[in-house]
Structure 1
Amino acid sequence: MLKLVGLALSALALGVASPAVAQEVKVASHKAPEEIKADPSNRLFLKLTNGGTVEILLRPDIAPQHVYRIQQLATQGFYDGIIFHRVIPGFMAQGGDPTGTGQGGSELPDLEAEFNRLPHVRGAFAMARATDPNSANSQFYIMFTANLSLDFDYTVVGRVASGMDVVDRIAPGQPPAQPTMIVRAYLGGPMPSAPATPVEMAKAADSE
């Protein structure tokens, strides 16, 4: 199992991009297609021990393999009982590691990067990785504030649709003294079929 080291960028450039740049990215890439929003399987719910539930709209149209991994693990109950082990106020809350240390992941293989145009704005839901771009596995993070310096280096897979106030209440610390835990992670609909892999898509394109 690969030992993840969180975001792999030391507490990262905590500075936020200029409002003009943020607005430009927002206009370009925030709106999900209606068919994505209408599919309940693209809704991830995280019920937390701080008394609230976070709803996240996943974007399989942008990062199909990473979204499918989240859907798989949530459906299997993998995230139930896992804490947010790295929570930096003004930056992000990271979870998804069953060891609670930032060094663990699932038994599934690591994912090839799907860097995309979705920006790291407040509420962005993205996959943590080690220094290898193709090392995302099960860990994820939710942005408290915008930090566009992370764009195109980490795979954003969705955004909080409701419950951002619940995210704001996640206990801070690395690790927190009394960490917030995921009581239950679940989808709003049935487990979807696996998306085509890049190899399968390439073969299909060649056959056309």
Structure 2
Amino acid sequence: MLSGLLLAAGLALQTPSPAPADQAQPPAGEWRTVAADNLLVIDTSQGRVLVELAPAIAPLHVERIRLLAGRGFYDGLNFHRVIEGFMAQTGDPLGTGDGQSPFPDLTAEFTFRRGPEMDFVAVSAPQGQQYGFIGSLPVATQPDALMGRTADGRVHGWGVYCPGVAGMARGEANDSANSQFFLMRDAYPSLDKRYTVWGRVVSGLEIVRQIKVGEGAGGMVPAPADRMTRVRVAADLPDGERPTVRVADTRGAAFRARLDQVRAERGADFSICDLDLPVQVEG
């Protein structure tokens, strides 16, 4: 799936940005709670990973992830392809990169249309674009000013492949994503607008980076591979097993102060991928 296309394209791995300094926790009132139906709980052999789904960005792919998680399709599947400095891929029942679910392939959602009703928080505007967040997801879009010039009152947008971003694997055809997905270990902007983004890890990025790395340029993992032990949407879990996740509100004063600090530290090298969002997890 993903491996053949990337290797054929000859893409170079991106050098990760330095990790930002520890940041102060926002005060009460500057947090938002992730809805239980938008929280994917991935229990792995290395620990728990929590992903905030982005249905406003990729509704078809989020619907597929929810469907497969609800049916237990992902339980026990290996991380069959893992590349250091890049990503960890899973979701293949065969474990070879050639397997998929019994459901039809999905239409690509590489980009989306952003309207004024979407909860978008801008953090920078280089070269006529805007970068910001929709929920916890880093996105790039055309400027707001263009909304008045388009037939639908919306502008073009796409997810940005920062660390922790969840993308859908596919074959050479754009509309060939099915069940396989990957979690970014580091930033890889060459994937932007080429693979559907459907969410972002809000807790457990360190777990994603601990998953056993594969061999050679293809990154295929020899046995025994790390695996997903159980994958469920939080809303489908019993109350006693359901985690509650709060993410720093990107509209809050604490986040804006952190943004100003990171922008000053990074200078001309500033990227939205330099920004971490504080998270509180209960349960």
Same fold (TM over 0.5): yes
Contact residue 126 and residue 141 of structure 1 kept, 8 A: yes
Unaligned runs of 5+ in 2: 18-30, 112-157, 215-219, 238-283
Say which SS state the counterpart of residue 194 (structure 2) adopts. Answer: coil
Q: Counterparts of 1:68-147 in structure 2 under 5 Å? A: 68-116=63-111, 117-147=158-188
2:45 pairs with 42, 49, 52, which one? 49
The match for 1:165 is 206
Contact 2:36–2:235 at 8 Å: present in 1 too?
yes
Change (3 A) 1:67 1:6: farther
| 1:166 partner SS | helix
Aligned partner of 1:15 among 8, 13, 16: 13
Distance 1:157 1:186 in 2: 15
Equivalent pairs counted in the alignment come to 172
Per residue, is there more strand in 1 or in 2? 2
Are positions 1:177 and 2:223 aligned together? yes
Answer whether contact 2:77 2:228 (CA < 8 A) is retained: yes
- Whole-angstrom distance in 1 between the partners of 2:16 and 2:41: 31
Q: CA deviation at 1:39?
A: 1.9
**Structure 1 consecutive aligned stretches of length 4 or more whose deviation exceeds 6 Å:** none
SS in 1 for 2:80: strand
The match for 1:30 is none
After TM superposition, the structure 1 stretch with the greater mean CA deviation from structure 2, 176-185 or 156-165, is: 176-185
1:188/1:149 CA distance change after superposition, 3 Å: same
1:5 to partner: Cα distance: 5.0
The letter of the residue matching 1:137 is: N
Give the deviation of 1:177 after TM superposition: 3.4
CA distance in 2, matches of 1:79, 1:18: 29
Distance 1:165 1:152, change over 3 A: same
Q: Which residue of 2 aligns with 1:197?
A: none
Q: Is contact 2:13-2:86 (8 Å) kept? A: no
Instruction: Give the TM-score, by structure 1 length.
Output: 0.77
1:171, 1:178 within 8 Å by CA — same for their partners in 2?
Answer: no
Q: CA deviation at 1:8?
A: 1.9
AA aligned to 1:99 is: L
The runs of 5 or more residues in structure 1 that have no matched partner are 20-33, 192-208
Contact kept? 1:5, 1:103, Cα under 8 Å: no
CA distance in 1, matches of 2:2, 2:185: 20
Counterparts of 1:157 and 1:96 in 2: how far apart (Å)? 14
What TM-score does the superposition give when structure 2 sets the normalisation length? 0.57
Deviation per CA, 1:83-134, whole angstroms, max 9, x where unpaired?
0000001111100000000001000000000002111110010000000000
Deviation at 1:13, TM superposition (A): 1.9
Alpha-carbon spacing, 1:7–1:54, altered in 2? closer, same or farther (3 Å)? farther
